[in-house]
Amino acid sequence: MIGIHGTPGEDGKLQGYFDLTGLPYTSCDSATSALTFNKRYTVAVAAFAGIDVAKSVHIFKHSPVTPAQILSQLSLPVFVKPNNGGSSIGMSKVNAAADLAGALEKAFKEDDQVLVEEFIAGREFTIGVFKSTKGIITLPITEVKSKKDFFDYEAKYQGLSEEITPAQVDEVIAEKVRSTAKKIYELFNCRGVVRIDFIYNEARQAAYMLEINTVPGQSEASIVPQQVRAMGWTLKEFYSALIEDALTRRKS
């Protein structure tokens, strides 16, 4: 059961090592972990399969791009994020062109690659998906309501957000989120439990995928444990199902 955020538990390195040594594990394999650790590669693969994602520009530190070049391709507001990593560190929402350069600089302090994405308006949902020996199961959906401008570090870890599990949402929207999440899980050949972040845009009636977390938080207060409890399972039952699936896979 891999529970390490970031490198080497979330980016595929540990998974590659376990594959070499023949040790079974509950998470996505090394290729899927490495791919989904890169936000841009994740949205690119998803878009190829027809999943809705925000329009974006991918920038590398070694080939700088001017704010004007970015804004010739994307419309404001935009999100500027370090392309790898998580926890919203180094991320900004930019409403005015004059603030883009500063936001890029901040993101490049965290990573050599930066992703600039168009802002998607709508309600934010996040959903756990896992594979048991009986097939792919989606957990109850959580709605994230941030008291800040977006679900940033303070909102996430300092209580400035509200997480509602199960989300109070129309069945049509819930089904859209669930079916999209399941499709993404299959598309990326995921294993174990992953948590997929979405923004549901009402006008386009579309669930926009933001990212896939292949090692979602498992603390008592974390979202996946909330969803497991909402499903009526104990965490012990849940982790047992994940381990059972990982061991079955080794036999096959």
**Residue 245: CB minimum distance to ligand ADP, A:** 25
- Which CB, 215 or 241, lies closer to ligand ADP? 215
One of 29, 52, 111, 197 touching Mg ion (CB under 5 A): 197
User: Is 151 a residue that touches ligand ADP (CB under 6 A)?
Assistant: yes
Is residue 190 within 8 A of residue 129, CB to CB? The reply is yes
CA proximity to 137, closest of 186, 172, 176, 173: 186
Stretch that binds ligand ADP, among 23-31, 118-126, 133-141, 219-227 (CB under 6 A): 118-126
Q: Are 129 and 182 in contact (CB under 8 A)?
A: yes
Which range of residues in 12-20, 117-125, 130-138, 236-244 is near ligand ADP by CB under 6 A? Answer: 117-125
Q: Which does 9 bind (CB under 5 to 8 A by kind): ligand ADP, Mg ion, none?
A: none
**Could you write out the DSSP letters of every residue in 136-183?**
EEEPPPEEEEESSSSS-HHHHHSS-EEEESS----HHHHHHHHHHHHH
H or E element, residue 117: strand 113-118
Using rule CB under 6 A, residue 163 touches ligand ADP: no
Binding to ligand ADP by residue 37, rule CB under 6 A? no
The set of residues, in sequence order, having a beta carbon less than 8 Å from that of 188 and lying 6+ positions away, is 28, 32, 35, 36, 42, 45, 212
Nearer to ligand ADP, 81 or 191 (CB): 81
Question: What CA–CA distance (Å, rounded) separates 53 from 49?
Answer: 11
Binding flag, residue 210, ligand ADP (CB under 6 A): yes
Please give the residue ranges that form the binding site for ligand ADP (CB under 6 A).
54, 79, 81, 86-88, 91, 117, 119-120, 124, 150-151, 197, 199, 210-211
